[in-house]
Amino acid sequence: MIHVENLTKYYNDFCAVDHINLDIHKGEVLGLLGPNGAGKTTTLRMLTGYFLPSSGDIRVKDLSVYDKSFEIKKMLGYLPESAPLYHNMLVADYLNYVANIRGIAKDKRQARIKKLVELCSMKEIMHKTIGELSKGLKQRVGLAHAMMDDPEILVLDEPTSGLDPNQIIEIREIIKLIGKEKTIILSTHILSEAEATCDRIVIINKGKIVADGKTADLKQSVGRERAIYLSLINSDFTAASETLGTIDGIEAVSKLESPNDDLLNLKLTFSSSDDQRAEIYNKIKATDWILMDFHQEAKTLENIFRELTKEN
Amino acid sequence: MQVLHILNKEFRDYFVSPIAYIVISIFLLVTGWFFFATFFLLNTAGMRSFFDLLPMIFAFIVPAVTMRLFSEELHIGSYELLLTMPVTFRDVIVGKFLAGVAFIAAMLVPTLAYPITVSFMGDLDWGPVIGGYVGSLLLGAAFAGIGIFASSVTRNQIVAFIIGLTICFALSLIDSMLFLIPEGLVGAFGYLGARFHFQNIAKGVIDTRDVLYFLSVMFVGLYGTFMVLKEKK
């Protein structure tokens, strides 16, 4: 649906986006992830026709941003970061204005606006000035702006930045709801958000793509690197490492700091991806140790992200 | 169509904020004051002193009207939202420009009270008055073109106002500064003066040369805006 080829953008000498290649398919919810200044916003701005690329091409349904920018804009709804709306307009007036510009027929307009108001739960704020709204409410108006004529592609730049936890969840719910039918591209630097809402994640750093894959695949690729944490009473480190060390696939048993002498905290790391939890439990059951805590931690996206984007 | 929607929105915007009312009040106070201060001394039933002053007053007022058109959008960032909707640069520029001109026209409407008042006091020749109003609109459009250009180059409305004011002021003053200019160039510079062309029309003579002058200034301003916006991509 969207084909990005060798996309590059220079701001004077600074290269913000460096030869990005990307294919976005219909119905995908794609998360563009990266630290601040990685080139996320610049990429989105080129996609929406706000900026022209320095070189390379973006084709949406085989229309190029260079000569068919107007047609692309018609298919695309865009919410820039922190929803910069006219602050002296009433929400209702603003939505009407957008509906006009988007060319929605008069007889369908009220129905469409009503539907958006319901979807983004904005009923109470229709007669308020946009400038008076809180950030979360403004974001909803921005979302309604982006979805006005039911575009096929929705581009959202950090849709949840600066919102409180409740608002974040609400906005995510809306994104999930529309993501069922639409192609959505959203940028964020919050990993849990990308994990929760996106089918596919693209991590960019310094203008380059450093990882690209289905959310589940990305998670699985690092899932093997896991650790099990144990807390035991009535045991000591030598006995424990002897007992547990005999299990196949355990690479190392190490002692962690513990708040008091009775409690022994252990970390087990593995050399294979097999699940040894049952065996570990059985080994411990055979002794007279008391098991206080037993949990496994898989490596998260957070770790991948940090590895891929950290300054060297 | 897009032009009309933008025009409509921008024009209404003027009246949402207090700026419109302040600008209109100042304009009416200043023109009213200067017009009636000398009106009885001159003892002629004409609008001459009103139209004589207009280029100077417009040089101040019009940039104040147009300063927000782009600067405000650039400042709050709504410019990005606007341009990612299905609109072209032309729609945006023309829509905003026409909103500015419509506002200037709305500002001139109350001044119609002056010729009406005068016509009761003496035998008013309506020809120059009509010419004067046509000229005022052309002058307003030309200055609005410059003002909109000034507004597109900066996100600071005050800076936009000062840039617009400087250019408009220079155009209105140029024909009284001609003695500073080498003799060979006087003709050319004299032609650039807005007041010279305006006063031709205000005499009631609508000459295509004068009309063309105002339209050219307007076009240069709008084209300059187009270039600036294109550069921002």
Helix (H) or strand (E) holding A11: strand A2-11
For chain A, give every domain's residue range: 2-221, 224-303
**Nearest CA to CA, how far is B125 from chain A (Å)?**
44
Helix (H) or strand (E) holding A261: none
Q: Is A33 helix (H, G, I), strand (E, B) or coil?
A: strand
Cβ contact, residue pair A78, B84, below 8 Å: yes
Cβ contact, residue pair A89, B77, below 8 Å: no
Task: Give the per-residue SS3 of chain B.
Answer: CHHHHHHHHHHHHHHHCHHHHHHHHHHHHHHHHHHHHHHHHHCCCCCHHHHHHHHHHHHHHHHHHHCHHHHHHHHHCHHHHHHCCCCCHHHHHHHHHHHHHHHHHHHHHHHHHHHHHHHHHCCCCHHHHHHHHHHHHHHHHHHHHHHHHHHHHCCCHHHHHHHHHHHHHHHHHHHHCHHHCCHHHHHHHHHHCHHHHHHHHHCCCCCHHHHHHHHHHHHHHHHHHHHHHHHHC
Cβ contact, residue pair A84, B76, below 8 Å: yes
In terms of Cα–Cα distance, which of A113, A108, A84 is closest to A96?
A113
Question: Which residue stretches of chain A have pLDDT < 50?
Answer: none
- Residue A163 in contact with partner chain B when CB distance is under 8 A: no
Q: What is the spatial distance between Cα B170 and Cα B55, in angstroms, rounded to a whole number?
A: 11
Q: What is the spatial distance between Cα A85 and Cα A132, in angstroms, rounded to a whole number?
A: 12
Confidence at residue B99, expressed as pLDDT on a 0 to 100 scale: 95
A12-71 residues touching B, CB cutoff 8 A: 45, 48-52, 70
Cβ contact, residue pair A73, B76, below 8 Å: no
- Residue B20 in contact with partner chain A when CB distance is under 8 A: no
Any bridge partners for residue A156, and if so which? A79, A186
In terms of Cα–Cα distance, which of A29, A30, A70 is closest to A49?
A70
Cβ contact, residue pair A84, B77, below 8 Å: yes
Cβ contact, residue pair B77, A145, below 8 Å: no
Confidence at residue A299, expressed as pLDDT on a 0 to 100 scale: 65
- Residue of chain B with shortest Cα separation from A98: B85
Residue with tokens 């513990």: A258
Let me know if domain A224-303 sits in CATH 3.30.420.40: no
The secondary structure of residue A79, as a DSSP letter, is E
Confidence at residue B26, expressed as pLDDT on a 0 to 100 scale: 92
CATH of A2-221 among 3.50.30.30, 3.90.230.10, 3.40.50.300, 2.60.120.10: 3.40.50.300
Question: Which of B14, B68, B84, B155 should one mutate to test binding to chain A, selecting the residue with the greatest count of A CBs within 10 A?
Answer: B84
Within 10 angstroms of residue A208's Cβ, the number of other Cβ atoms is 15
**Nearest CA to CA, how far is B3 from chain A (Å)?**
9
Helix (H) or strand (E) holding A241: helix A237-245
Cβ contact, residue pair B76, A78, below 8 Å: no
The secondary structure of residue A299, as a DSSP letter, is P
N-terminal to C-terminal alpha carbon distance within chain B: 24
Contact B96, B6 (CB under 8 A): yes
A30 CB-contact burial (10 Å; exposed 0-12 / middle 13-18 / buried 19+): buried
Contact A200, A276 (CB under 8 A): no
Cβ contact, residue pair A49, B84, below 8 Å: yes
**Nearest CA to CA, how far is A144 from chain B (Å)?**
12
The secondary structure of residue A125, as a DSSP letter, is G
The complex's ipTM works out to: 0.84
Confidence at residue B156, expressed as pLDDT on a 0 to 100 scale: 94
Within 10 angstroms of residue B201's Cβ, the number of other Cβ atoms is 26
Within 10 angstroms of residue B41's Cβ, the number of other Cβ atoms is 8
Q: Nearest 5°: phi and psi at B36?
A: -80, -20
Confidence at residue B151, expressed as pLDDT on a 0 to 100 scale: 95
Q: Nearest 5°: phi and psi at A176?
A: -60, -40
Residue A216, sorted as left (phi over 0), alpha (psi -120 to 50) or beta, turns out to be alpha
Indicate the residue of B5, B17, B233 with minimum beta-carbon distance to A97. B5
A285 CB-contact burial (10 Å; exposed 0-12 / middle 13-18 / buried 19+): exposed
Residue with tokens 């941003």: A65
- Residue B85 in contact with partner chain A when CB distance is under 8 A: yes
Confidence at residue B182, expressed as pLDDT on a 0 to 100 scale: 80
Question: Which residue stretches of chain B have pLDDT < 70?
Answer: none
- Residue of chain B with shortest Cα separation from A79: B81
A129-148 residues touching B, CB cutoff 8 A: 142, 145
Q: What is the spatial distance between Cα A284 and Cα A194, in angstroms, rounded to a whole number?
A: 38
Q: What is the spatial distance between Cα A267 and Cα A295, in angstroms, rounded to a whole number?
A: 10
Q: Which amino acid is at A114?
A: K
